[in-house]
Amino acid sequence: MATHERETGLIAPYGNRLVNLVVSAEARAALIEKAKHLPSVQISARSMCDLELLAVGAFSPLDRFLTEEDYRSVLATMRLADGVLFPIPLTLPVESADGLELGRELVLRSPTNEMLAVMRLEGVYPWDLEEEATAVLGTTDSRHPLVSEMHTWGRWCLSGPLTVFNLPRHKDLPDLRKTPAEVRSLLAAMGRENVVAYQPRHPMHRAHEAFTKEAALQIDGSLLIHPVAGFTNHGEDVENYTRIRCYKTLIENYYDGGRTVLNVIPLAVRMAGPRAGLWHGIINRNYGVSHLIVGRDPHSLSEGSYKTAFYDSRDVQELFLQLESEIGVRMIRHKEMIYLPQSKQYEESGRVARGMDEYIRVSATTVIEDSLFRGTQLPEWFTHPEISQILSDANPPKDRQGFCVWLTGLPSSGKSTIAETLLPMLMAKGRKVTFLDGDVVRTHLAKGLGFGKEDRVTNILRVGFVASEVVRHEGVAICALISPYAHAREQARAMVGRERFIEVFVDTPVSLCEQRDVKGMYTQAKRGDLKGFTGVDDVYELPRSPDLRINTSSMTPDESARMIIGELVQKGFIAQERRREPKGLPVGAAA
Ligand code: ADP
């Protein structure tokens, strides 16, 4: 069972001691001087988050990226080689280990070249995407955002003891990013042994408020509101900023300051379902948490936006329960709250008498779609006016928000033709449209890139990056490129934002594409004059669950473009001809 720290009364860190890899103030200058002369390894934004949390002890007792022995053991058993439960393989993947010598020191640099830490290299080992994804995520499906990202990780993992001399500087909300030791001292000052943590992923509304307050009372403990805002896919930063402003405002105005702490963890999430749930338990314990609210789907992926359910939330809770005494953190099940209009109160759904029909099930998505995205304020029973204001400032009505239509398909399938037909239709709706055509971008943005796999992926990611910028600024991006790799399309989707990315599969049979052969390239490829041509001798990975599938053998370009418009209307990105008045939520209706 978990031990308690004698001095503070809080639960002891996992493994009893908080790791601290940060160099002392006295030794820092000399270490930086030395680092300038060491061989460098540039690490990814994800690894930088991992390094930061390793350095401050959030992954205690882990004090380095996994050794090969620990890595193999974590994949197979969720445990380090010494048997300690640690379900997520925290590795440092790099593209190449050429020129690095075992036993020698090297300096780890950020993606923008800042020097962060010195590592003595003790191990270099390869890893295998399929093996790791299967063991940890239970899938190799590239619709899983971590799987698609893993395709970009380096093939070699480095390990060895670390001394960190520069922690990443967070420019957004730096005062809310405390270390485990700092959070512990805030919690200790509140004088309660028990601490319950809640890790919201979306803005918190009154139902969440009622639930978290109730959870703290139930265990006579303090409350840690502990959102994650670490490595994010491009474009989520603004959303994170808004989300955290909502928490801050809510806590300052509506929570008991003597029992509530808000802290933001720079954690690079893994979205690994049950394994991730446990991992979050361990991490939270290091911050002084004795109880964790484990939600319906806290660390997994919602079915709606991923088109498939990767994890069952019950499995997350079940594994947690099974191992909670070992990690020392108790689970509090996230309960569904419903609103009782007559008494103007929230209540757990299980506590409401049967047959009572005057209640409202609260679904944030539905309420937000119904009001905020239609340009009206959120109802006060649902959220406080201050929060409603922050959200409406940050979110224009849905039909003014940006989105990306991504047309993928074989050469000559009809992508450009459909895009060119769609473009004026969108402009007629008053939208500002950027058209990124595969052939055209190759004359500037992607100039010099070839048609090998790596260059094609780079091309897709560049277009994805530009599209994400357009969309972030409330514009419309139409992208028409073969984009033959599922994982690269998924990365583009993640960059743009899942809800704003409409994947249109232009599903024209290869025989018809060959017949059209707009540029005569099928003929050349079939003659063998052109190598690596998609559809002839190069792969096209079919979209598993596109938002739309268009068969151009049975539809004209005009019909195809109208079908896309229909989808956009349905998603709310284009207003219907006659706007519906916003309606209230049906009373007693399931959301
Ligand atoms: P891609 O951009 O996919 O390489 P293009 O749009 O450049 O393909 O070429 C598709 C060719 O097929 C064009 O010449 C277009 O006129 C013709 N075409 C015939 N029927 C259709 C249809 N229903 N939808 C799209 N294109 C069609």
DSSP 513-570: HHHH-TTSHHHHHHHTSS-S-BTTTB--PPPSS-SEEE-TTSS-HHHHHHHHHHHHHH
Q: Does ligand 1 lie within 6 Å of residue 408's CB atom?
A: no
Residue with CA nearest ligand 1 atom 16: 417
**Best residue for ligand 1 mutational test, from 417, 418, 442, 479 (most atoms within 8 Å of Cβ):** 417
Ligand 1 proximity of 480 Cβ (cutoff 6 Å): yes
> Of 327-331, 386-390, 582-586, which has the strongest mean pLDDT?
327-331
Q: Is 557 in the pocket of ligand 1 (CB under 6 A)?
A: yes
Q: What angle do CA 469, 226, 141 make, to 5 degrees?
A: 55
Is the confidence at residue 250, as pLDDT, over 90? Answer: yes
Give the residue, by CA position, lying nearest to ligand 1 atom 1: 412
Residue 421 beta carbon below 6 angstroms from any ligand 1 atom = no
Q: Of 44, 412, 416, 483, which residue is the catalytic one?
A: 483
Give the pLDDT of residue 34. Answer: 97
pLDDT in tens, 253-262: 999 999 999 9
Q: Please report the pLDDT score of residue 341 as a whole number.
A: 79
Query: What pLDDT shows up at residue 588?
Result: 43
Phi-psi region of 425 (alpha: psi -120 to 50; beta: other; left: phi over 0): alpha
Average pLDDT, whole number, for the chain?
90
SS3 18: coil
Q: Measured between alpha carbons, how far is 283 from 19 in angstroms, rounded to an integer?
A: 12
440-494: pLDDT as tens digits? 998 999 999 999 999 999 999 999 999 999 999 999 999 999 999 999 999 999 9
- The stretch 545-567 carries a mean pLDDT of 96
> 3-state DSSP call for residue 501?
strand
For a ligand 1 pocket test, name from 412, 420, 540, 550 the mutation site with the most ligand atoms within 8 angstroms of its C-beta.
412
Distance, CA 437 to ligand 1 centroid (Å)?
Answer: 13
- Most confident by average pLDDT, 136-140, 345-349, 354-358, 579-583: 136-140
Atom of ligand 1 nearest to the CA of 411: 4
Least confident of 67-81, 380-394, 398-412, 555-569: 380-394
User: What is the b/e burial string over 286-317, where b = at least 16 CB atoms within 10 angstroms of the residue's CB?
Assistant: bbbbbbbbbbebbbbbeeeebeeebbebeebb
Kindly tell me if the per-residue pLDDT of 581 is higher than 60. Answer: no
Give me the helix-helix angle, 415-428 and 557-571, nearest 10°: 50
Task: Tell me the C-alpha to C-alpha distance, in Å, between residue 250 and each of 165, 210, 365, 373.
Answer: 35, 12, 19, 21
pLDDT tens digit string along 374-383?
777 788 888 8
Could you tell me the distance, in angstroms and rounded to a whole number, from the CA of residue 30 to the centre of ligand 1? 64
Decide: 377 in ligand 1 pocket, CB within 6 A: no
Residue 488 and residue 425: Cα distance in Å, rounded?
28
Rounded to the nearest whole angstrom, what is the distance from the C-alpha of residue 454 to the centroid of ligand 1?
Answer: 27
| Centroid of ligand 1 to alpha carbon of 539 (angstroms) | 20
Tell me what pLDDT residue 203 has.
85
Work out the percent of the chain whose per-residue pLDDT is above 90: 72
What's the rounded Cα separation, in Å, for the pair 534 and 484? 8
Closest CA to 158 of 92, 80, 74: 92
- Residue whose CA lies nearest to ligand 1 atom number 10: 414
- Find the 518 Cα to ligand 1 centroid distance in Å: 8
Q: Is the CB of 115 under 6 A from ligand 1?
A: no
User: What pLDDT, on the 0 to 100 scale, is given for residue 587?
Assistant: 47
Find the range with the poorest average confidence among 87-101, 148-162, 288-302, 537-551: 288-302
Q: Compute the distance from residue 444 Cα to the ligand 1 centre, in Å.
A: 23
User: Which pLDDT score, from 0 to 100, does residue 586 have?
Assistant: 47
Q: Which pLDDT does position 226 carry in this prediction?
A: 97
Whether the CB of 415 sits within 6 Å of ligand 1 = yes
Q: Which of 121-135, 412-426, 466-480, 516-530 has the lowest mean pLDDT?
A: 516-530
Q: Is the CB of 459 under 6 A from ligand 1?
A: no
Q: What would the pLDDT profile of 466-479 be if each residue is shown by its tens digit?
A: 999 999 999 999 99
Q: How confident is the model over 104-108, as a mean pLDDT?
A: 97
DSSP-derived letter for residue 590 is -
Can you tell me the distance from the alpha carbon of 299 to that of 415, in angstroms, rounded to the nearest whole number? 36
Q: What pLDDT is attached to residue 591? A: 34
Pocket lining: 516 vs ligand 1, CB cutoff 6 Å: yes
DSSP state of 53: H
Active site residue 483: yes
Place of tokens 């959200």: 391
pLDDT in tens, 146-174: 999 999 999 999 999 999 999 988 877 88
Residue 405: the pLDDT is: 98
Residue nearest to atom 26 of ligand 1 (CA): 414
Distance from Cα 456 to the centre of ligand 1, integer Å:
21
DSSP assignment of 296-309: SSSSS--HHHHSS-
Q: How much distance in Å is there from the Cα of 513 to the middle of ligand 1?
A: 8
pLDDT category of residue 357 using cuts at 50, 70 and 90: low
583 pLDDT higher than 60: no
* Cβ–ligand 1 contact at 414 (below 6 Å): yes
First to last CA, the chain: 40
pLDDT digits (tens, 9 = 90+) for 176-231: 999 999 999 999 999 999 999 999 888 888 888 999 999 999 999 999 999 998 87
Quick one: pLDDT at residue 170? Answer: 80
Contact 518 CB / ligand 1 (< 6 Å)? yes
Please give the model's pTM, rounded to 2 decimal places.
Answer: 0.87
What integer pLDDT is reported at residue 590 of this predicted model?
37
From the CA of 411, how far away is ligand 1's center (Å)? 9
Strands (E), 298-395: 330-333, 337-340, 345-348, 360-361
- Per-residue pLDDT, 309: 76
Dist. CA 495–CA 585, nearest whole Å: 32
Beta strands in 329-401 (DSSP E): 330-333, 337-340, 345-348, 360-361
Task: Kindly report whether the peptide bond that precedes residue 61 is cis, defined as omega within 30 degrees of 0.
Answer: yes
pLDDT tens digits along 360-409: 666 666 777 777 777 777 888 888 999 989 988 888 888 999 999 999 99
**Rounded CA gap, 71 and 80, in Å?**
7
Q: Is the CB of 533 under 6 A from ligand 1?
A: no
Of 436, 518, 534, 555, the one to substitute when testing ligand 1's pocket (max ligand atoms within 8 A of C-beta) is: 518
pLDDT in tens, 267-300: 999 989 999 999 999 999 999 999 999 976 545 5
Q: Which residues, in sequence order, are bridge partners of residue 548?
A: 504
Mean pLDDT of 56-60: 98
Task: State the pLDDT confidence band at 240, using cuts at 50, 70 and 90.
Answer: confident
Distance CA 475, CA 403 (A): 7
- Beta strands 501-506; 548-550: pairing state: parallel
Q: Is the per-residue pLDDT at 353 higher than 80?
A: no
Regarding the beta carbon of 504 and ligand 1, being less than 6 Å apart is answered no
Q: What CA–CA distance (Å, rounded) separates 327 from 274?
A: 14
Nearest-CA residue for ligand 1 atom 24 is 557
